Chains A and B, each alone.
Chain A
């Protein structure tokens, strides 16, 4: 998503990351209890996970996140008039890039004074589903995040071993 932000910035597309609640709280990044902690976690997202887009932090009870459906990693696109024109219950860079190409073309057609009328379309997009990488990502949060996910959705891929964790630190 950082690459998408850079690619389309010159076309007038701004990109931000909106910090929400913790989806998979664990020892290293527990559930949020204060704004100070929320800013601290958001800084870790920037510094450790490399999110280079501006990060905007929602209030502690998540009014913005909740109003937009409170999914853990969704993406929305807004136009200058303040209308949502794209919403996705999961973030996928290919899907977002595909949408931006379409909307930038719409902007060009408007400049050419083409008469356009909006309509709504529903579409099923597809994302990469690398369960091994996902489980390795959970290890950054702490062992509880892995254990909770296994309880909810079953065992990880057989290739996954706790020792393969992404983080060099282990709270245990």
Chain B
């Protein structure tokens, strides 16, 4: 994790030159193949979990990405 990546990803102003580089839906993973897994942290207890732990325990898993803002 570089400080430059942290700064660019967590941009401080909603300006096209800052947010447009992150609009990469067309480059996102294909459907129907193994999806990439990542560690995540549960808000309720800050425990580490994996995305795969959630999809493997349920028939289907709906994941909404977003933030307060």
Q: Which residues of A contact B (CB under 8 A)?
A: 1, 4-5, 8, 11-26, 29-33, 35, 39, 41-46, 48-49, 53-80, 82-87, 89, 91, 96, 100, 103-104, 107, 118, 120, 138, 140-141, 144-145, 148-149, 151-152
Nearest residue, chain A, Cβ from B34: A82
> Shortest CB–CB separation between residue A149 and chain B, in angstroms?
6
Asked whether A29 lies within 8 Å of B66 as measured between CB atoms, the reply is: no
Across the interface, which residues of B come within 8 angstroms of A8, CB to CB?
60, 62
Return chain A residues, CB-CB under 8 Å to B42.
Answer: 54-57
Decide if B63 touches A70 in the complex (CB within 8 Å). no
Contacts between the two chains (Cβ within 8 Å), count:
246
Chain B residues in the interface with A (C-beta under 8 A): 1, 5-6, 9-16, 19, 22-44, 46, 49, 51-52, 54-69
Contact A120 B32 (CB under 8 A): yes
Q: Which residue of B lies closest to A144 (CB)?
A: B13
Q: A22-B10, A43-B43, A57-B40 are in contact. Are A17 and B68 (CB under 8 A)?
A: no
Question: A107 contacts which chain B residues (CB < 8 A)?
Answer: 59
A77 to B62, CA, bound (A): 5
CB pair B14–A148 under 8 Å, yes or no, is yes
B31 touches A56 (CB 8 A): no
